[in-house]
Amino acid sequence: MESTDSTTQQLMFSLIEIWKGSGKTQLEFCKEKDIAYSKFHYWLKKYNAQGSAPEESPAFMAVTVKNQPVVRAGALELVYPDGRRLIFHQDVDPSFVRALLA
């Protein structure tokens, strides 16, 4: 029985990966693949929970500072390895940024 659960999990996780790269909404993707919307959300929740497990996240993260011209004073943009961006349009205390990276 466990191998069936594992197979289902692998299938659903691979579908979630496909959805992430598809550019479609969750509802559009579910209709296209004939997946119940509630089932998709169930597995998406499991997928997200597994991806944020403490043993999978690195203890240290490399921070690369690019030498680019400053567009405007007081602006800061953090770009995470997974592509998420956090943009501040005002001065930010360094201790606050340090806390975000911890």
At 72 the pLDDT is: 54
Q: What is the pTM (predicted TM-score) of this model? A: 0.46
Average pLDDT over residues 13-31: 89
Q: Is the pLDDT of residue 43 over 80?
A: yes
Residues of the chain by 3-state class (helix, strand, coil), percent to 5: 50, 10, 40
| Closest C-alpha to 35, from 49, 21, 18, 50 | 18
Q: How far apart are CA 38 and CA 36, in angstroms?
A: 5
| Closest C-alpha to 16, from 35, 84, 82, 58 | 35
Taking the domains of the chain in order of start, what are their residue ranges? 2-51, 58-102
